[in-house]
Amino acid sequence: MKAIYLFSNYYPYGMVAESFLMDELQVVSQMPCCYVEVIPLHKNEFRKDLPSNIVLNTKLSDTSLLQKMKAFFSMILGRFFWLIPFQRKYSPKSRSDYFQAIKYLYGSYLIRDFLLRNKDDFKEGAIFYSYWFNHTPLGFCMAKEMCRNFEKSKIYTRAHGFDVYEDSVGTYFPFRNKVLSMIDRVFVVSGKGVSCLKQRYPIFSEKIDVSRLGVFPHHVKQDVEKCWDISILSCSSVVPIKRVDLIFDSINRFCQVYGHLKVKWTHIGGGKGFDTLQKGIKSKECNLTIDLAGSVDKPEVMEIYKRGYFNLFVNLSLSEGIPVAIMEAISWGIPVLATDVGGNKEIVTEDTGLLLAVDFVQKQFNDSVLTLMENREALSKSTFEFYLKNYNAEINYTNFYMNQLK
């Protein structure tokens, strides 16, 4: 039986954190040839249910203060800390880079020390799988170098958005050349991400592959609530990079121009900017109705989809991998209007919607909305067909666990 230890940041803890892992674990739980143990770095009071045969290991998130202090001093005294300024080609260039290098290096030592403390708990020849290309893979590599128990283990990581497009999102990860020299594979969620990493680290190109995420299919609802001419949905955290305030401004200005149309905007997601957003939407056009759902867990997200009849999904982010929120939208046959960033062009095509430049002007937004609404029925059908071919959870995750994690 294949033993897989999946390291997350929070999952299964938190209402919305890494909730897209639910579908992946649902698929792998049906595979009798796989033993999967989920190991979160953090936890909190809210915990999602796991499939009955998926094991939860909380020893890492239960790391004591003494153990954390030990990891910190091990980092300060270790060679990696003093080598941070001397990394070949990609050394830190700013105070922020140095801060992030130390933060992520400390995270790596936490992972390393956890593995070394509990080395006898892990099966020989196991697969260590990080859901993010962050500090965790470096911790895996450190432990493998130091302990013979991990000699036959395989190391894999997924890579999404912030952990791929470092420069554009202001993130810095130390010692990636070290990690890539030891890791077995990096699985990126988009072809654009694969190209980015291969260009940045060409000598490790053979270790970088694409492996798309997926969601389960849903019934396509062609009808739209009769009380709305256009029903728009968006779903993301309310943080600067997601530009939810711009979604509101763009929809509100659309309503100024097309005052004869009744428009509804529903946004799913909370965050640091949620209160500010609530205040800002008070000055809206009279033909615009707004529903801010706030932070809800995945079952409630699905209920919102079931109760509503949305005919447009909008994403205006500054950076993305390939958003799971867009995968969810197209699984319901909802066309998408999104910014041309990250891997968005791989999921927002002529079959599923339209792309906007990051610095689009209002007329471009207005024209795109009208074009999508004029073709809503045909687009709904082609959107769902595109989803089935490319982002079906059953197909993508079965392939990942049976053919890529090996």
Residue 224: pLDDT above 80?
A: no
pLDDT at residue 282, as a whole number: 87
C-alpha atoms less than 13 angstroms from C-alpha of 203 in its C-beta half-sphere: 7
Mapped onto helix, strand or coil, the DSSP state of residue 278 is helix
Looking at this protein, which amino acid is placed at residue 357? Answer: A
Residue 52 is predicted with a pLDDT of 87
Q: Does the structure show a pLDDT above 70 at 332?
A: yes
What is d(CA 154, CA 173) in angstroms, rounded to the nearest whole number? Answer: 21
pTM of the model: 0.87
Q: What is the mean pLDDT of residues 375-390?
A: 93
Which pLDDT belongs to residue 20? 84
Neighbours of 27 (CB within 10 A): 21
The closest of 173, 148, 146, 144 to 156, measured between CA atoms, is: 144
**What residues contact residue 6 under an 8 Å CB cut-off, 6+ apart?**
36, 37, 38, 39, 129, 131
Lookup: tokens for 124: 């020989």
Q: What is the mean pLDDT of the chain?
A: 93
Mean pLDDT for the stretch of residues 373-396: 94
Six-digit token pair at 74? 């091990």
Paired residues of 354 in beta bridges: 337
23: Cα separation from own chain's centroid: 13
Which residue matches tokens 């302990």?
A: 147
User: What is the C-alpha to C-alpha distance for residues 372 and 403, in angstroms, rounded to an integer?
Assistant: 38
The tokens 């401004």 sit on which residue? 249
Strand, coil or helix: 236: coil
Q: How far apart are CA 113 and CA 58, in angstroms?
A: 15
More confident residue, 81 or 168: 81
Report the chain's terminal Cα–Cα distance, integer Å: 11
* 92/168 Cα distance (integer angstroms): 15
Summarize the confidence of residues 295-301 as an average pLDDT.
Answer: 87
> Residue 219: what pLDDT?
67
Contact 232, 266 (CB under 8 A): yes
Q: Which of 275, 210, 205 is nearest to 245 (CA)?
A: 275
Nearest to 11 by CA among 54, 52, 42, 45: 42
Q: Which tokens sit at 306? A: 């079931």
Helix-then-strand count for the chain, H and E:
16, 13
Other beta carbons within 10 Å of 389:
9
Q: Pairing relation of β-strands 154-159 and 185-188? A: parallel
Contact 78, 41 (CB under 8 A): no
Percent of the chain with pLDDT over 70: 98
